[in-house]
């Protein structure tokens, strides 16, 4: 299907004057009926327009060439559908409580580390008086281990009492 110069300009995405100039310069050719065959003209434009020309500087080597780098409409539509499905799945998982915001995780982790630090740093103060009166290294080691086990249980949410 042949196009008028104006229709070809719309097809290419340039002004009608740019098409007229390309015809005048011999970069694209008209059919016998004075119309433009888009397939032939596209190839001619790409092959006959210098990359450093005014037209290339304004419009690129060929505006259709830029479009050729884009995925086909059906591919774009399929990619969008896949994206929408993935987004819907993530939103459903978030509503179901299966996903947690990254900031919430970081905040909870920070609180957990703070609690661990506080509990572990309290051990020497809790045991210093008891251990000062203990001479048996085995009993000292047991008391330290028991207190560390208690601290780890507290951190794990398991507050089982440990015999002192």
Residues 58 and 81 in one domain: no
Residue 117 lies in a domain: yes
Q: Tell me: pLDDT of 29 over 80.
A: yes
Residues 61 and 77 in one domain: no
Residues 47 and 12 in one domain: yes
The count of domains in the chain is 3
| pLDDT score, position 157 | 79
Condensed to tens digits (0 to 9), the pLDDT of residues 105-156 reads 899 889 889 989 999 999 999 999 999 999 999 999 999 999 999 998 888 8
Residues 131 and 142 in one domain: yes
Query: Region 23-43: what's the mean pLDDT?
Result: 88
**What pTM does this model have?**
0.40
| pLDDT score, position 154 | 87
Domain coverage including residue 38? 5-68
Residues 92 and 111 in one domain: no
| pLDDT score, position 122 | 93
The whole-angstrom separation of Cα 63 and Cα 60 is 6
Residues 94 and 142 in one domain: no
Residues 120 and 88 in one domain: no
Condensed to tens digits (0 to 9), the pLDDT of residues 83-101 reads 999 999 999 998 998 888 8
For residue 7, the surrounding DSSP H or E stretch is: helix 5-12
CB atoms within 10 A of CB 73: 8
Residue 95 lies in a domain: yes
| pLDDT score, position 69 | 57
Percent of the chain with pLDDT strictly greater than 90 = 35
| pLDDT score, position 58 | 56
Residues 151 and 126 in one domain: yes
* Cα Rg of the chain, angstroms: 38
Residues 95 and 116 in one domain: no
Q: Tell me: pLDDT of 72 over 80.
A: no
Residues 82 and 62 in one domain: no
Helix (H/G/I), strand (E/B), else coil: 3:
strand
Indicate the average pLDDT of the chain.
Answer: 82
Residues 93 and 46 in one domain: no
Residues 61 and 79 in one domain: no
Query: Region 7-12: what's the mean pLDDT?
Result: 86
Residue 141 lies in a domain: yes
């Amino acid at each position: 299907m042949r196009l008028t110069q104006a229709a070809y300009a719309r097809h290419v995405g340039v002004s009608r004057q740019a098409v007229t100039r390309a015809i005048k310069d011999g970069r694209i050719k008209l059919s016998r009926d004075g119309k433009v065959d888009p397939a032939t003209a596209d190839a001619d434009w790409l092959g006959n327009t210098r990359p450093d020309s005014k037209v290339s500087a304004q419009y690129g080597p060929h505006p259709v060439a830029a479009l050729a780098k884009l995925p086909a409409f059906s591919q774009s539509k399929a990619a969008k559908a896949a994206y929408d499905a993935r987004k819907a799945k993530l939103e459903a998982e978030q509503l179901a409580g299966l996903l947690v915001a990254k900031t919430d995780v970081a905040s909870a982790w920070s609180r957990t580390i703070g609690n661990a630090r506080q509990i572990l740093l309290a051990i020497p103060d809790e045991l210093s008086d008891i251990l000062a009166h203990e001479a048996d290294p085995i009993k000292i080691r047991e008391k330290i281990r028991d207190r560390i086990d208690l601290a780890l249980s507290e951190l794990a949410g398991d507050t089982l009492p440990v015999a002192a």
